[in-house]
Amino acid sequence: MAPKRIRRSLALPASWRFLLLALLIAVSAEGAPRPNFVFIMSDDHAYQAVSAYGAGINNTPNIDRIAREGIRFDRAYVPNSLCGPCRATVLTGKHSSRNGFYDNRSTFDGTQWTMAKSLQRAGYQTAIVGKWHLVSEPTGFDHWDVLPGQGKYYRPDFITPAGKSAIDGYVTDVTTDKAIAWLNGAGETGRKADKPFLLMIHQKAPHRPWDPAPERLKEFVGREIPEPATLLDDYSTRTSSAVDAKMRIGETMNDRDIKTWAEDNNHRQWLYNHMTADQKAAWVEHIDPRQAELEDSGLEGDERTRWKWRRYMEDYLACVASVDEGVGRVLDWLDGAGLAENTVVVYMSDQGFYLGEHGWFDKRFMYEESLRTPMVVRWPAGLKEPGREEGRIVSNLDIAPTFLELAGAEVDPEVDGRSLTAILRSEPTPDWREDFYYHYHEGPERDHNVQLHDGVTDGRHKLIHFYKRDEWELYDLEEDPRELSNVADDPRYAEVRERLTARLAELREDYGFTPPKVGE
């Protein structure tokens, strides 16, 4: 069991931190050049939909290239599976309870310490392009060009310090275009060739409602897509918290999601009003017939669920294909510019996502498909043994301390993450984390009726507590990787439950959380 962290007592006086930072920068200047960082994050991209992870439902050759030339992390966990909180975690290296961004109703406190600010102080040029989703304006970036809120798939608005403008095109392509323009040095705040840089490329896709690019509307139509074994899960051994969630494809997924709409549907009209004539024509040809197809099929019950799941996957995977194409364009640019060797490239999603497992879409729960995010890292100049599959528990909490250590920049002593540098370099990590704390903060009053819960996993067993209902779930991930059998009350697992319950209590104390009494 890892020891509890000691926090504020380790903080150095400001004058000492400044001297240490200056020394680190000086040492870096005399030795090997400091690496650049390209951080590519998609939204709701399930690890099951990255072909490097072996699920076999699609092909992502460019993301796979990062894995092949770098490391594939198989236990990359997020501490709070929601879009905004995960973005705040990447910037701060801290749990939601420490950075103040608990759920998608929160506003990010831009005055707090962030990775971007520390890199700026260390002499890096910093930029972010794409989805921001933290409400407040970005801070710590020399260049920012971001989507307001969730953003739109077609003719997206982008916000810069100069104001808002709409861009004709498809949001994934536009975001990639803007990132490459910055790399090419476009504009007053474009990349400067004499400075190391951090570029964060945040794609909107494949977030709901999964609107594909026109050229990809038919890409997955007719293709074999393996149905998840738990698509028709009956939740028979789970608690009421799983039963009550409103995330079922058969019941919750609506006409906007699967595009079974009439001509006068408001969502259809709004979307088509943001398209060019050619884009609209492609959608009218390939998407509009879905309503009649569903009505004429006469499908009900499980078969109707399967039909909806199929349309969901066709659209979702088409969105993923555009993201992967954008990753390839960025990798090709780095190759062409001669910068690939000493640029750390990270691809990950903000969190995991359900692709029909347990009959669901969305995320939020601590179950594996939501907790785990795809994460691949490449760094030719410093990474040892490329092509590795890494099983240690890592997290989006670890991005900030990793980048900052490699840059010789100051790390906030209160970060919750750990630097991955030793793992990248194939060095020993004798005191690496043995377990991981999760806490979903948004609650049932918001989307999908998912109950507040927290829990702990050591990679083999997972304990979840839906604390307002005082419902417990325990899973043996080796014997039951699909999490179908809750063994919380099984006498054979009494010792495991006792051990994890004690560890959960320690972690709650460490993160300053006391569960409310049932009914509060």
Whether 110 has a pLDDT exceeding 80, the answer reads yes
Could you count the other beta carbons within 10 Å of the beta carbon of residue 20?
13
DSSP letter assigned to residue 452: P
Give the number of other Cβ atoms within 10 Å of residue 190's Cβ. 15
What is the amino acid identity at position 515? Answer: P
> Which pLDDT does position 275 carry in this prediction?
98
Tokens describing residue 517: 């009494």
Task: Return the closest-CA partner of residue 465 out of 489, 501, 511.
Answer: 501
What is the pTM for the complete model shown? 0.93
d(CA 423, CA 74) in angstroms, rounded, equals 13
Predicted local distance difference test score (pLDDT) of residue 511 = 93
- At residue 338, what is the residue type? G
Angle made by CA atoms 307, 313, 316, in degrees to the nearest 5: 140
Q: Is the pLDDT of residue 193 over 70?
A: yes
The residue whose two tokens read 């795809």 is 374
Asked whether 136 and 108 are in contact (CB, 8 A), the reply is yes
As a whole number of angstroms, the distance between CA 437 and CA 433 comes to: 11
**pLDDT reading at 17 higher than 70:** no
Residue 337: helix, strand or coil by DSSP? helix
Q: Which of 250, 257, 260, 258 is nearest to 293 (CA)?
A: 260
**pLDDT tens for each residue of 29-87:** 456 899 999 999 999 999 999 999 999 999 999 999 999 999 999 999 999 999 999 99
Enter the DSSP assignment of 424.
Answer: H
Q: Mean of the per-residue pLDDT values for the chain?
A: 94
Q: How many residues does the chain have?
A: 520
Q: How far is residue 382's CA from residue 380's CA, in Å, rounded to a whole number?
A: 6
CA proximity to 62, closest of 443, 334, 419: 334
Tokens of 289: 């017939």
For the chain, domains (ranges, CATH) are 8-210+313-427 (3.40.720.10), 438-510 (3.30.1120)
Cβ atoms within 10 Å, residue 246: 13
